[in-house]
């Protein structure tokens, strides 16, 4: 069964600290892996997209890594800000059909 | 540039009532999707469209119908609402399905069925 798992379920950090969110997937055949940020009451917004051949991609203070061999990805947030408080969703795309497999998200709270 | 706009933002229905959710995008995207988001679960695909006049079933299509008469609009209908359809519904669009084409989401419709 195609599945995306994320850990931790929730995380609380202090402003200015770094953090890393994890994503494990059992999706095949794999096309690409995406990270989205979802603010409360809003729709998800794309942060990064990585194909099979890419093992890291950055978007400002956000850096995503991909290990296609172990089927793991991580999202590292550097020097966190209050505005980083949101849910972060890992999404894996298959090479066929219209299916994107969404993880349940990690809820990040950044406190002052 | 509005992106993806969903209406209404909130709605409360009684069991058995019907309603239509409207999604409009101004990015000339071919692909449009309807998802539902429930607590503790990832977004699940209800129906999708690969172009004007086309629709197809996703992972959880039962109890829903869709139409895409115009390229910019994608409508989601509930003919006879059930409490199990209480959820947050998101519409999304994309230029293509693969490569570096991200999904662009609306801000959702929160639906409660009593």
Residue B98: pLDDT above 90?
Answer: no
pLDDT at A94: 84
Closest CA to A25 of A36, A34, A15: A34
Which residues lie closer than 8 Å to A53 by C-beta, 6 or more apart?
none
pLDDT at A1: 81
Closest CA to A37 of A107, A94, A100, A98: A107
Q: Rounded CA gap, A62 and A48, in Å?
A: 9
| Residues of chain A contacting B31 with CB distance shorter than 8 Å | 98
Cβ distance of B31 and A98 shorter than 8 Å: yes
pLDDT at A23: 98
pLDDT at A27: 84
Characterize the bridge pairing of strands B4-7 and A30-38.
unpaired
| Residues of chain A contacting B56 with CB distance shorter than 8 Å | 98
**Long-range CB pairs of A9-13, under 8 A, 24+ apart, other chains included:** A9/A104, A9/A106, A9/A107, A10/A106, A10/A107, A10/A108, A10/A109, A11/A106, A11/A107, A11/A108, A11/A109, A12/A108, A12/A109, A12/A111, A13/A80, A13/A108, A13/A109, A13/A110, A13/A111
Confidence of residue B101 (pLDDT cuts 50, 70, 90): confident
CA B21 to chain centre: 7
| Mean per-residue pLDDT of chain B | 94
pLDDT at B40: 87
Confidence of residue B92 (pLDDT cuts 50, 70, 90): very high
Q: Which residues of B touch A (CB under 8 A)?
A: 4, 31, 33, 35, 40-45, 48, 50, 56, 58-59, 90, 92, 97-100, 102-108
Mind listing the pLDDT tens digit of every residue in chain A (112 residues)?
889 999 999 999 999 999 999 999 998 888 899 999 999 999 999 999 998 889 999 999 999 999 999 999 999 999 999 999 999 999 998 877 667 899 999 999 999 9
Cβ distance of B43 and A43 shorter than 8 Å: no
pLDDT at A99: 75
Q: Rounded CA gap, A91 and A102, in Å?
A: 4
């Amino acid at each position: 069964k195609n599945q995306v798992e994320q850990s931790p379920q929730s995380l609380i950090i202090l402003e200015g600290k770094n953090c890393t969110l994890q994503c494990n997937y059992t999706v095949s055949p794999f096309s690409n892996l995406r990270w989205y940020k979802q603010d409360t009451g809003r729709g998800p917004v794309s942060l990064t997209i990585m194909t099979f051949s890419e093992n890291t991609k950055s978007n400002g203070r956000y850096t995503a890594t991909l290990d296609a061999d172990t089927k793991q990805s991580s999202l590292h947030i550097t020097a966190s800000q209050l505005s980083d408080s949101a849910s972060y969703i890992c999404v894996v795309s298959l090479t066929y059909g219209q299916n994107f497999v969404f993880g349940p998200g990690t809820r990040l709270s950044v406190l002052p | 540039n509005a992106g993806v706009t969903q209406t209404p933002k909130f709605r409360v229905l009684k069991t058995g009532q019907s309603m239509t959710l409207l999604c409009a995008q101004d990015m000339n995207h071919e692909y449009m999707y309807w998802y539902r988001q429930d607590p503790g679960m990832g977004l699940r695909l209800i129906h999708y469209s690969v172009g004007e006049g086309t629709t197809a079933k996703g992972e959880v299509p039962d109890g829903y119908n869709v139409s895409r008469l115009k390229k910019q609009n994608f409508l989601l209908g509930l003919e006879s609402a059930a409490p199990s359809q209480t959820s947050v519904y998101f519409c999304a669009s994309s230029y293509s399905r693969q490569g570096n084409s991200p999904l662009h989401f609306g801000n959702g419709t929160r639906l409660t069925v009593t």
